[in-house]
Structure 1
Amino acid sequence: MSGDEENYMAVIITYWISTILLSLLYLSSAFLYLTKATWVRQTLAELNYPAPYLVPLMIVVKVLGPAAILSRISVPLSDLAYTGIFFHLLLSGSAHLGVRKPKGAVPALIGLALLAASFATQNSARDAPSPYAPAYEAVAH
C-alpha cells in the first residue's frame, strides 16, 4: 500500500471508530435516562435544568441524533444532528463546570473530541459528502 492509501484507510478507520464511540456514548446515555430516571432528574435539577420537561426530550434526541449520523439517509439531516450534538455537548460541559463539578464535564469533553473526529473525516468515509466537512486529498486507488 502506498502512503496515500494508508492515509486514506487511517481516515476511514478514524471516522468509523469515532462515530461508533460517539453513538455508543449517546445511546448509553439515553439508556441511563430510561433506567435511572430519578437520579437523572435529580442531577439535571442540580444543574438548574427543568428535568421533568427535559428528560423525555433528551431521550429522543440521544437516540435520533446518532441514528441520523449513522444511517445518513439525508446529508442535511446528518449535518443537523452533528450541530445539535455539538451544542448539546457544549451546554452539558458548561453546565457541569458552572456548578463546579468538573468531573461531570468529562463525558462532554470526550464527546466533543469524538464529534470533531467524526465530522472532520466523514467526507472520506461516506459516499454523499457534507458541504461543511473538510475534504481530504488522499484518495484510494
Structure 2
Amino acid sequence: MRIGELSERTATPRRLLRYYEEQGLIIAHRTANGYRRYDDNCVDRVIQVRGLLDAGLPTRIIKQILPCLDKPRTIYFPDATPEMLATLTQERDRMTQRIDCLARNRDAIGEYLDAVLALRATPAARAVSPAPPA
C-alpha cells in the first residue's frame, strides 16, 4: 500500500509515517518511480508504535524493543544497557498506574450508568419524568 493508504488506515499523518521510517520504526520499500510501498503488517506496527509513543516511550527505546513485540517472540538483548532497563522499568510502572486509574474511572462510570438506568426503569421515575414531545 502507498503512504496515503497507510495514513488513512492508521489515522497517522504522512509526515509522522516518514519520521517513523527515518527512525527505523517502519520499513518502506521503494517502487521504480520512487514511491513508498508498505506491507500490510505496517498497519499493526504503526498502531503499536503510536501506542508506545503515547505511553511515553522514546523512539530510541521503541526501536530496540520492537523486535520483541513481533510473534513469535524471541527476546534477546545483547546491548541492553542499565539505562534502557531502568527506562523500561519506569515506563512499565507508569503504564500500570495509568491502567489502574483508567480501570477505576471505567468502573465509576459503569456504576453511574447502572444507577441512572436503574432509576429510569422504575415506575416512579417514569411517572415523574416529563412526557416526550408529541
TM-score over 0.5 (shorter chain):
no
Structure number with the bigger relative contact order (C-alpha 8 A, sep ≥ 6) is 1
Please identify which structure carries the higher helix content.
1
Instruction: Give TM-score scaled by structure 2 length.
Output: 0.28
TM-score by length of 1: 0.27
Report which of the two structures shows the higher radius of gyration computed on alpha carbons: 2
